Structure 1
């Protein structure tokens, strides 16, 4: 018998670790996000960043309304969140807290973008670009972090 076919018995520590892993097969799955959540986060970032720019340009045009841009942005935002809620089937213990943090970051940036662009930076394209870049950067960084877990 050669060395490649000789069975190797694990030591006591490794055997215990393997037994724990078998007893809790879903624990590693529950701690990270699935691709549904990752794609929803990326989509939400894309919709909100493009929406901020579309709303700003709609305000700059004298004969247009921001209702059309805002409506489509809202519809696509709803589609991404509904996609996440419908297709996410696992109870994610560690991810649920991280998801709340990600949504908090996105929500704070979105609130700042909408509020400040309506009251302080009305029609300022540079501000819309900055906020769109921050929304894109934050949602992409969060999604890449989850994809790498």
Structure 2
């Protein structure tokens, strides 16, 4: 029996260790909210002009399962056609979570970053996605 090999603590978790919002994981009310109709997607573009090394940071929260992908182009033109951009962070589905998520990845360089939120698999229900995007240097 496997139970005889587990030695997990059974004490309750103290409330001081509960998750609370901070600057790295802000409250949902501090994020930008967009509504994506059923069967649709939404593109949001950001331009990084600095040539210094940077990280792309996104906080995000969805009230239901949603898809997200991030496209990149070294162009400085925010109206660049999506077909001319590369899949920097390919499409992935994210479940609805009870808290704000955070992703931080080294940015490939200056240019246009286009976050695409997907609700294309929904037939009827719209989706609310909340997000915040910032670019950080190596020191945050």
Q: TM-score, normalised by structure 1?
A: 0.20
- 1 or 2, which has the higher strand percentage? 2
Asked which structure has the greater CA Rg, the reply is 1
